[in-house]
Amino acid sequence: MSREQSAIIKGIAILLMLIYHLNNIPGINGLDNEFYNTLSTASHPITFFLIVSGYGLYYLYRQGRITWKYLFRRTLKLYLAFWLVLLFFVVGLASWLYPGRFSISWDKLFVNLIGWRWDYCIFTWFLLPYILMTFSAKWCFRIIDYLGNVVSLLVAMFIYLFTSFLISRYFDSWLQWHYEVYHVILWAQTLLGMTMGAVMARLVLAGKSIIWKKLYGRDYLIMLLLVLSFVLRGQIHISVLNSFHAALVVWLVLHMSFKGIPKKVLIELGDKSMIMWLSQGFLGAVLFSEYYLLLRWPLLIWVVWVIVCYSFSCLLKPVVNGITRVMKLS
């Protein structure tokens, strides 16, 4: 998986994320139908990012580049983008346009800035588990190397099923009041996607191609298989299938020959996907939902939401890059 391919996959993932979160815009009509329910169920986006991250991190691990210095730099860059987004919307824009919308106290601001809680925007719940996954990657990869591909996937799947059971059974009664345990459980759920990415990297490093030559470049057949995967996943409501569906989608996308404008658009979206992910909740459901409802049609709302999130990321990313260069994090 090249950088270009990983950017394309992240570009697809951020588009799916906005589809998945479309029903979080309060008051939106036209989503109560079989088509959207199927599409949104099959568009669970987090796993796509986990697979790409697992693949890339495993390469760095084999090169001996996952050091404490690298991990702190990577984490600080992510936090920096998140802090700028949070301060811009919560402390800045909302305080001016929507006074009293957010309760801004030092203790609440602090726990949200570190990702411990997500009072201001529920869509940022994934930040801390993702950081924990990054810091634990080196040791997880050692276990994967010891257990091998098949056993590692089975163990990760068992962990995912067990933690899903804990969330479904105890979230309302206990977990939502004990974030120290809940974040560990959410971290454990990232392991399946990360393991799938690592296994793909292990196969490539072992000299085994993950590209099936007979399928490569046959874009119409690949599109048909992608549609079939989305339909099947959308009709079978078992959460553990998220990772297997995402892995199949990633594998199929690697066989496609992207060209021209679609390629440029997906790479550009993938390059901006981190800031789009961090800001999409504020730019949609949290602050400006009433304006999106004026557009009436869900497809139009989704297109405008994508454009707005991308435009904001174009404004913020140069700021993030400039600060990271000054701090020598890049």
Structure confidence at residue 326 (pLDDT): 81
Structure confidence at residue 61 (pLDDT): 92
Nearest alpha carbon to residue 21 among 282, 330, 323, 229: 282
Query: Span 106-115, mean pLDDT?
Result: 86
Confidence category of residue 330, pLDDT binned at 50, 70, 90: low
Structure confidence at residue 186 (pLDDT): 92
Structure confidence at residue 142 (pLDDT): 94
How many alpha carbons lie under 13 Å from residue 315 in its C-beta half-sphere? 10
**Least confident residue range of 56-60, 122-126, 141-145:** 122-126
Nearest alpha carbon to residue 286 among 115, 110, 97: 97
Distance CA 26, CA 199 (A): 40
Nearest alpha carbon to residue 30 among 299, 235, 233, 304: 299
Confidence category of residue 170, pLDDT binned at 50, 70, 90: confident
Distance CA 327, CA 80 (A): 11
Residue 327 confidence (pLDDT) above 80: no
What percentage of the chain has pLDDT greater than the value 90?
31
Distance CA 8, CA 260 (A): 13
Query: Span 181-197, mean pLDDT?
Result: 92
- Which has more pLDDT, 30 or 70? 70
Query: Span 115-130, mean pLDDT?
Result: 87
Helix orientation angle between 241-253 and 219-235, rounded to the nearest 10 degrees: 170
Structure confidence at residue 197 (pLDDT): 93
- State the alpha helices, DSSP H only, in the chain: 3-20, 34-41, 46-62, 68-86, 94-97, 106-113, 127-147, 149-170, 179-205, 219-235, 241-253, 260-271, 273-279, 289-293, 298-326
Distance CA 73, CA 114 (A): 15
Structure confidence at residue 39 (pLDDT): 81
Query: Span 150-174, mean pLDDT?
Result: 90
For the chain, give the mean pLDDT: 87
pLDDT digits (tens, 9 = 90+) for 236-276: 877 778 888 888 889 898 888 888 888 899 999 999 999 99
Residue 34 confidence (pLDDT) above 90: no
Distance CA 315, CA 276 (A): 11
Nearest alpha carbon to residue 183 among 126, 264, 260: 126
pLDDT digits (tens, 9 = 90+) for 69-100: 888 888 888 899 999 988 888 877 777 777 77
pTM: 0.88
Confidence category of residue 1, pLDDT binned at 50, 70, 90: confident
pLDDT digits (tens, 9 = 90+) for 196-238: 999 999 998 888 888 888 888 788 888 899 889 888 888 887 7
How many other CB atoms are there within 10 angstroms of residue 112's CB atom? 22
